[in-house]
């Protein structure tokens, strides 16, 4: 399986790392949609939310812990931010390794659909 985010985790493709631990990697989005735009991903390959199960869901809670920590460190925890995961074609998912966009640093548009 050739997955761009698995290759980023392995260091085969360069990225601007923001955070890393045993189970999670976070890096700057290459095409930022806001002043702060970080992608937080599990190190284990999970294709999308569709693949989240009782066996692998602990990392999702951990990702939200890291989102809160990074939001604080990046100075957006008080001004506000959004955490988004697109799943499948209708949501516009383009990379099929589960990822959470952490967006902030400006007044974000409220567009739910
Ligand atoms: P999504 O459309 O939700 O699947 O989001 C995929 C995101 O990955 C997009 O915001 C892209 O800009 C971002 N992306 C794709 N390739 C890279 C890369 N090599 N480094 C950083 N971000 C990337
Ligand atoms: Zn992957």
pLDDT of residue 101: 98
Coil/strand/helix, residue 98: coil
The confidence score (pLDDT) of residue 90 equals: 97
Ligand 1 atom nearest to CA at 28? 21
Give the pLDDT of residue 98.
98
Tell me, what's the pLDDT at 52? 98
Strands (E), the chain: 17-20, 24-28, 36-42, 81-84, 100-104
pLDDT of residue 1: 74
Q: Is 62 assigned a catalytic role?
A: no
Annotated catalytic residue within 37, 45, 62, 99 = 99
- Within 6 A (CB) of ligand 1 lie 4, 13, 15, 29-31, 39, 86, 92-95
Give the pLDDT score at 113. Answer: 87
Return the pLDDT at 23: 98
Closest CA relative to residue 28, chosen from 14, 11, 42: 14
Those residues whose beta carbon sits under 5 angstroms from the ion ligand 2 are: 3, 5-6, 45, 97
The predicted structure's pLDDT at residue 111: 86
For residue 46, the ligand closest to its alpha carbon is 2
The pLDDT of residue 50:
98
Residues of the chain with pLDDT below 70 are none
């Amino acid at each position: 399986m050739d997955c761009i985010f698995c290759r980023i985790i392995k260091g085969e493709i360069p990225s601007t790392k923001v955070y890393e631990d045993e189970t999670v990697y976070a890096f700057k989005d290459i095409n930022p949609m806001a002043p702060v735009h970080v992608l937080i991903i599990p190190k284990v390959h999970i294709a999308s939310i569709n693949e989240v199960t009782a066996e692998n869901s602990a990392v999702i809670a951990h990702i939200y812990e890291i989102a809160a920590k990074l939001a604080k460190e990046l100075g957006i925890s008080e001004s506000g931010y959004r955490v988004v995961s697109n799943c499948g074609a209708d949501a516009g998912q383009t990379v099929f390794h589960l990822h959470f966009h952490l967006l902030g640093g400006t007044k974000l548009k409220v567009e739910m659909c």
